[in-house]
Amino acid sequence: MSRVEGGRPSPARPAAHAIARDLLAWFDARKRDVPWREERDPYRIWVAEVMAQQTRIDTVRPYYHDFLERFPDVGALAAAPLDDVLRVWQGLGYYARARHLHRAAAVVAERHGGTLPSTVEDLRALPGVGAYTAGAIASLAFGLAEPAVDGNARRVLSRVFDLEAPTAERLERAAREVLDAAPGRPAAVNQAVMDLGGAVCTPRAPACAVCPVGVTCLARARGTQDERPPRRRSAPAPPRRAAAALVTREGRALFVKRPPEGLLGGLWDLPGTSPVRVERRSPPIGEIRRALEAALADRHAITARVGRRLETVHHTFSHFRLRLDVFAAEWHAGEPAGEAVWAGAGQGGVGELATPTYLRAILPRLEGLETRRTQVWCLESRVSTEGGEAYGWQGASPQE
């Protein structure tokens, strides 16, 4: 017996070589079918790792192939307009990832001759590249024994080493112990740990009986697997209310470009105002209409008559739940300020714009505006999370 974190009598510290051996045997026998698993091109691995952050692999697959077809290397991505990058990314969510990729590609093209750097230090210096992404690229593309600790790896290492306080430094030390026990296979070790966390060592009800490292897992031996890692309590997403206008003019609808930074940065959206917290009393419909008309005048320099409410859309984002009231609006005067377009459904129309997922439902219906200029439709969307934001009926500008 020995005493470890928390002062609990327990089995001795697990042998890293046994962990690595059993883990790699399991991985070699059942590795997941991932499109980039055997890839060694640093650029392709970089794109894949960024896309896979907070996104299911099955969701990533088609986007990964389409992205590489459009931007096959660092030079092509760096030279492309941001609008093109966002349009290919459209629907994958968390658009800051696409903006960071685009900026980082420009840095790689300018400072590294178009070749992704091989050291963790240089990789970490690129926009949007954190410790996990740098470690993943270094190990998968360059064969360096560098940890890649994502959420799955954090859970596995916390349990195998029974870490009561799994700080970033402690997790890195644990990961390096396993990496050092399997020289020459850093990519396989990192991928095996992540796969184990996704398939066996799950957040709730881990399948310890079939775990390949179950015999060396300290948390299982001590009965603490359900306590590791400590659960992070997150506050419930607050509700917010917003309104947006589908403004029509001569068979076309108005779309405005959001600021380049911030949530949904650089995408084309419906005009409106910012979201506000939901109060107990819902504002009268007339008050919302007047606030929306004022926003169209103040923000976009147009006069429009806001008509009936077309639909109420409930859309859940990563950090708040939105009730979006969509109103019909008819343009009367003024030319929109800032970056704005009147777009229809034909060639060169709204289909060429990078828009949030929740607006995509309206695109096929715009065909009717070409022939029935006074008719408008609602957009309807129920998306679990996009990492973005829509507009509201009053309040301050959105923050990152």
Cα torsion 201, 205, 211, 214 to 10°: value is 100
Q: Strand 2-3 vs strand 9-10: parallel, antiparallel, or unpaired?
A: antiparallel
Active-site residue (options: 38, 39, 49, 339):
49
How far is 329 from 51, CA to CA, in rounded Å?
37
For residue 328, list its beta bridge partners.
246
Q: How many CB atoms lie within 10 A of CB 336?
A: 20
* HEC assignment per residue over 229-292: CCCCCCCCCCEEEEEEEEEEECCEEEEEECCCCCCCCCCEECCEECCEECCCCCCCHHHHHHHH
Backbone CA torsion sign across 305, 377, 277, 300: negative
How far is 146 from 178, CA to CA, in rounded Å?
11
Q: Active-site residue 49, yes or no?
A: yes
Long-range contacts of 362-369 (CB under 8 A, 24+ apart): 362/246, 362/253, 366/253, 369/248, 369/251, 369/252, 369/253, 369/344, 369/345
Among 322, 317, 304, 312, which residue's Cα sits nearest to residue 378? 312
How far is 395 from 400, CA to CA, in rounded Å?
15
Coil, strand or helix: which one is 381? coil
How far is 199 from 195, CA to CA, in rounded Å?
6
- Residue owning tokens 């490292």: 213
Buried b (16+ CB within 10 A) or exposed e, 209-218: eebbbbebbb
**DSSP track, 111-169:** HSTTS---SHHHHHTSTT--HHHHHHHHHHHH--------HHHHHHHHHHTT-SS--HH
Both tokens assigned to 185 = 């296979």
Q: How many CB atoms lie within 10 A of CB 308?
A: 10
Catalytic residues: 49
